Amino acid sequence: MQQQRKKSFIREWVVPLAVAVLLSVLVQTYVAQAVKVPTGSMEPNIEINDRLIMEKLVPLTNWQRGDIVVFNHDADGKGVVRYVKRLIGLPGDTIEVRDGVLFRNEEKVDEPYVKQAMSYRFGPVQVPEDSYFFMGDNRNDSYDGHLWPNRFVPKSELVGKIIFRYYPFNQAGTL
C-alpha cells in the first residue's frame, strides 16, 4: 500500500510539477520574459522599476521604428550592459537631431512619446547594415546612441521587443 501511494504521489504531483518547471524555463528562455526597467531614460512613458513583458522571438520579429527593444550592448568599451530603448533607425537610415527635432532620412519624425524638445545637435549619421540606432524617450537625460562611442547596435545583440507593462497595475497594458 505504501509503495502504491508513493507511485500515485509521483504521478499526480512530481511529474506535472517537473513538466510545469520545464515549460516555464523554455518559455522564459525562448518566448517571453519579465524585465525590470533600471533607469529613467524612457520616462515619462516607462518609469524606473516598471515591470514589462518582452517577447524573445528575435529571428521572427519584424523590427519597426518606434519599437521598444531590450538589447545587450557595450556602448562605451566598459562592458556589456542591458538596455531598454526605442528603435529610431533601421539599417540604411540617416539620423540627425537639429533644432530640437529628430530627422530620419531628411524627414521630420513625429514623436508623440517625447515630451521635451532635445537640447542638443546630433548627426547626421547613417545606420550600418545589420545594425540599429536607439534612443531613450527622455532624450535630454538618456545615455543612448547619440552619446555612445559605439552608437550602433548589431542585430546579434537584440534580446527582444517589449509588448506589455504589467506593473504598476494601474498602468498595465500594451506598449
Query: What residues act catalytically?
Result: 41, 85
8 Å CB contact between 160 and 67: no
Q: How far apart are CA 166 and CA 164, in angstroms?
A: 6
Q: How far apart are CA 67 and CA 59, in angstroms?
A: 15
DSSP 109: P
Q: How far apart are CA 148 and CA 74, in angstroms?
A: 9
Q: How far apart are CA 45 and CA 103, in angstroms?
A: 21
- How is the beta sheet containing 122-126 ordered, strand by strand? 107-108, 101-104, 94-98, 122-126
Q: Which residue has the cell 536607439?
A: 134
8 Å CB contact between 40 and 141: yes
